Amino acid sequence: MAFRSPSLAMLACRLALLGGIAVLLLAPWLFDSEGLAVLTQFLTLLVLALMWNLLAGYADIITVGQHAFVGIGAYAFYGFAALAGVNPYAAIPLAALVALVAAVPAMAIVFRLRAAYLAVGTWVVAQVFMLLAGKLPGFGFGSGVSLPIAVAQAFGTDPAGRYTTIYLLALGLAAVTLISTWLLLRSRIGIGLTAMRDNEEAAGALGVNIVRARILCFLWTAPFLGLAGAIITLQNLRISPPASFSIIDWTVFVIFNVVIGGIGTLEGPILGTALFFVLRAYFSDLGTWHLIILGVLSIVVILIEPRGLWGLLRRVLPGDLIPVSHRRAAAAGAVRAAPERFEPQPPA
Amino acid sequence: MADDFAPLLEIAGLSRHFGGLKVIHALDLAVARTEILGILGPNGAGKSTLFNLIAGVLAPSGGAIRYEGRDVTHLRAWDRCRAGIGRTYQIPKPFAHMSVFENVLVAAVHGGGAGIRQARLEAAGVLERTGLSAQHARPAGSLTLLDLKRLELARALAVKPRLLLLDEIAGGLTEAECGTLLDIIVQVHAGGTGIVWIEHVIQALRRACTRLAVLHGGAILADGLPDAVLADPRVKHVYLGT
Ligand SMILES: Nc1ncnc2c1ncn2[C@@H]1O[C@H](COP(=O)(O)OP(=O)(O)OP(=O)(O)O)[C@@H](O)[C@H]1O
Ligand SMILES: [Mg+2]
């Protein structure tokens, strides 16, 4: 490594993160519509990666059916905005609500299963939702339907303005997802989730209510996935069962990204999704090979470091880039290097 | 509050079979809050399995477990922990990627039911008490086996248990370290916690325990005052091999 010291490496990572945030904030001025469209895809895939990571990386719910909630969000958004005539902006949070409601019966089925059966169960549930979507009157059945022009124009009358609006919505969603997930992991529930990630049995024996934590995570992810589905629909301007419920786009790629970036960390999904877009920009003409390369890459990464590329980087870095961990009170004080003698006294 | 001599833990007819292997079979045992009960038994006698049953990590094949007068046989592990049953693992199960401090914090927040602020103070106190303060920022996965055992004890204490289950935490300690451990155990006990302690280090058990029980053949073979149990010919036969 070119870095002299861990803190220098940390500084480089911080700068990369801040630079990335700055680029995202200034993107409407920096990029044309095509660039904004790619960044919108990046942000929605980032949301999906953060959610899959929360389920698989912390709550041990290895789902291969998360595309279900993306599709449900897409269809709900279409239903409210195009069919029910709801204000298109209001249709977005309603899509989140529908995804949340759909998560309840899905959970009741899936949570009866464990491990490999659970994975298969999530896939079956997702297939059922997709088949149901293809039977809905008004939604174009199996071949889908385009978004009415009036709905699209609510987000900008000219294409350039629309791309900017959709991009800003995606940016807002990604920011809310990242910050709320970070707050969740910092909370007392999050301490328990992190413990579950490292050793589920010990977490349970030390008082972490594993069932409740799992339920919370499952319900937590559904609305965010639904929101991503609404934004994806806005961007594609149409819904259809195979595209809105695409297992490859909204689940398989996402799993690769999280695994390559680093499962069970907050930084991993960000790193993995960013890498995915860099690779895609250079190897976009590879077609199916793209998928195969990512699959092989994720297996290689797992064999070298189960916690992904971020796990490799973390060996050099002195701490988390996005700090989730809790430090002892004395260590958080002003003089970190000095030997710590001060011990806080509990209030009488 | 129930009186001190009423059983804190009552086990009746408890069984756990693994396939055809009857590891625990029709076991009866009662422990009062005032006791430090030492458990002896040959390797593979089922001592750790008994703890897993009491802590709710394993479901029994039969029998009942009462804790503080309440039937907890079908309670999940975390609910038993919240009710005040703290345990250590013979083979440590650290949260390897969390710091030593956070490992204890998990127990203080979830098992102990404290808010994060309060739990941070408690966790720092427990680390001090168990001699882990200097290691507080290290990832638990990087500790030595001895420190991992200290961490097991620290986490169990952070739960603020009323029943503490200790599974072989004295092995490998020096004389002085063992003395420190005994001090902690006696202190916790004086604070009103009933203790069950599985240990092969007989001298340590002898110094701390108010009572000894020997587990053999899936049930309690001998039970009573430490010296009387150690002098029991049946115990000498199965355990001490004489
Ligand atoms: N989950 C399990 N599945 C199958 N067999 C098990 C399981 N847990 C324990 N056993 C078996 O039960 C028996 C008792 O094991 P246990 O760990 O309770 O013994 P122990 O008294 O704690 O022994 P030691 O002194 O070596 O710690 C052993 O034969 C072990 O192989
Ligand atoms: Mg054992």
Residue B23: the pLDDT is 95
Query: Which of A194, A331, A344 faces B137 most closely, judged by CB atoms?
Result: A331
Residue A330: the pLDDT is 56
Residue B1 has pLDDT above 80, yes or no: no
Is ipTM beyond 0.85?
Answer: yes
Residue A114: the pLDDT is 79
Residue A1: the pLDDT is 45
Average pLDDT for B164-170: 96
Residue B53: the pLDDT is 98
Question: Is A328 close to B113, i.e. CB distance below 8 A?
Answer: no
Residue B196 belongs to what H/E stretch?
Answer: strand B194-198
Query: Residues of chain A whose pLDDT is less than 50?
Result: 1-2, 331-348
Q: Which residues are paired to B224 by β-bridges?
A: B212
Residue of A96, A346, A63, A66 whose CA lies nearest to A230: A96
Residue B137: the pLDDT is 92
Residue of B176, B175, B184, B116 whose CA lies nearest to B150: B184
Does the beta carbon of B49 lie inside 6 Å of ligand 1? Answer: yes
Residue B136 has pLDDT above 60, yes or no: yes
Average pLDDT for B37-58: 96
Residue of B128, B66, B11, B178 whose CA lies nearest to A346: B128
CA–CA gap between residue B55 and residue B84 (Å, rounded): 10
Residue B4: the pLDDT is 61
Residue B173 has pLDDT above 90, yes or no: no
Q: Are strands B85-87 and B163-167 parallel, antiparallel or unpaired?
A: parallel
Q: pLDDT tens, B102-135? A: 999 999 999 999 999 999 999 999 999 999 999 9
Residue A4: the pLDDT is 61
CA of B168 to the centre of ligand 2 (A): 7
CA–CA gap between residue A216 and residue A212 (Å, rounded): 6
Domain ranges within chain A, ordered by starting residue: 36-245
CA–CA gap between residue A144 and residue A78 (Å, rounded): 11
Taking CA–CA distances from B141, the nearest residue in chain A reads: A198
Question: Is A202 close to B93, i.e. CB distance below 8 A?
Answer: yes
Give chain B's mean pLDDT. 93
Residue B81: the pLDDT is 98
Residue B238: the pLDDT is 80
Taking CA–CA distances from B94, the nearest residue in chain A reads: A199
The answer to whether the beta carbons of residues B153 and B180 sit under 8 Å apart is: no
Residue A116: the pLDDT is 84
Residue A331 has, within 13 A of its CA and on its CB side, a CA count of 15
Taking CA–CA distances from B90, the nearest residue in chain A reads: A202
Q: What percent of chain B has pLDDT over 90?
A: 87
Place of tokens 């002898």: B206
**DSSP classification of residue A347:** P
Which sign does the torsion angle of CA A251, A255, A258, A260 carry?
negative
Q: pLDDT tens, A199-215? A: 999 999 999 999 999 99
Which chain A residues are within 8 Å of B99, Cβ to Cβ?
A: 325, 327
Residue A113: the pLDDT is 87
Q: Are strands A145-146 and A238-239 parallel, antiparallel or unpaired?
A: antiparallel
CA of B95 to the centre of ligand 2 (A): 20
Question: Is A188 close to B107, i.e. CB distance below 8 A?
Answer: no
Q: Does A287 touch chain B (CB under 8 A)?
A: no
Q: pLDDT tens, B144-165? A: 999 999 999 999 999 999 999 9
Q: Does A343 touch chain B (CB under 8 A)?
A: yes
Tokens in use for A51? 């959610």
Query: pTM of this prediction?
Result: 0.91
Which chain B residues are within 8 Å of A318, Cβ to Cβ?
A: none
pLDDT band at B5 (very low <50, low <70, confident <90, very high): low
Question: Is A205 close to B87, i.e. CB distance below 8 A?
Answer: yes
Query: Which of B89, B98, B136 faces A328 most closely, judged by CB atoms?
Result: B136
Question: Is A194 close to B94, i.e. CB distance below 8 A?
Answer: no
Residue A287: the pLDDT is 73
Q: Are strands B163-167 and B194-198 parallel, antiparallel or unpaired?
A: parallel
Residues whose CB is less than 8 angstroms from the CB of residue B95 and which lie 6 or more positions away in sequence, other chains included: A194, A195, A197, A198, A199, A202, A203, B102, B103, B106, B140
**DSSP assignment of B152-192:** HHHHHHHT--SEEEEES-STT--HHHHHHHHHHHHHHHHTT
Average pLDDT for B79-102: 97
Show the CA angle centred on residue B137, arms to residues B99 and A345, nearest 5°.
105
Which sign does the torsion angle of CA A190, A191, A195, A201 carry?
negative
Average pLDDT for B15-22: 93
